[in-house]
Structure 1
Amino acid sequence: MHIQEEISERHVLSLTVSNEAGILARIAGLFTARGYNIDSLTVADITPDHAISRITIVTSGPPKVIDQIIAQLERLVPVHKVTDLTDNGPFVERELALVKVAGTGENRIEALRLADVFRAKVVDTTIESFIFEITGTTDKIDNFVGLMRQIGLVEVGRTGVVGLIRGKESN
């Protein structure tokens, strides 16, 4: 008998929730209690009256686990809607990072050249370092950080992924 391992897939989930105290802790607790990992989590208020927030969660797992996560999230009372952006058709996702790089001489020139290639913007500079701002997909930011690590990476701060469905449809 051959047991086939299920392939883990990356999914971007978008939740609209009531802005209630403790909702983020409840959602994180749901993941923790079941041993699911959160790769990225962002939260933003999306209504003028501050009543609703959008939470974007990036997680990975086999399709059955992702379906379980979605079903369990949908059962939480302050959750209005859960959308799996990954399975819902074309969507745009972006992440922002601040990347501090130290370097002088050739390393400094190379850091600026790579920043230009990646369309990273210099937001702070000293004689011995830069802080770059870069937006894009997680892969783009990972690649930029990896290259800067070879030059003199000091520190990285990342926002996490946000995503929206393309076109007129809402999530």
Structure 2
Amino acid sequence: MSEQKLNTLVLPGYQNSGAGHWQTRWEERDPTFARVQMPDWDHPARDAWCRALDAAVAAADAPVMFAAHSLGCLTTAFWASQYASAAQLAKVAGALLVAVPDPAGPHFPQDASGFAPVPLTRLPFPTMVVASSDDPYGGVPFSRTCANGWGSRWVDIGERGHINADSGLGDWDEGRRWLASLAAQG
């Protein structure tokens, strides 16, 4: 899949990713990046979010990558393990999963429903879990557990909070390189 141009589906988390977030910046820089529009950013429901992701993958006419943040990571795991058909899964070249939130954690949004327990089955495409050592939404032990269960490479980028606009990453070129490395594996 690395020979052809891939489209990247951007999967933000709770309340979407605003200006300054690396996901938004990537979309602004590259027309092959497209945000998956969720039915309700402020009251996420697993079933609705997974169905929105499924529709986006179905509409793609080429292989896709996922650039997921926070609740977008959990959506990816649930979609791949419980919603996607084999044909849909075959379209996915890889997924960058950034700042995986812990549904049992004290800061997990109370407005989110259906995201626990997190499926820990191996994902059928190359993945990388990127974590921050001081993420208030998902600690290092939880992100390592997810990475191990999903068969993902795990990377700790140090103290970067929730790896969002407040983390000072700018265009986050390192994340783009990681995404490209996953595409090369797919």
TM-score tier (shorter): under 0.3
Structure holding more strand per residue: 1
Which structure has the larger Rg over C-alpha atoms? 1
Structure holding more helix per residue: 2
TM-score using structure 1 length: 0.26
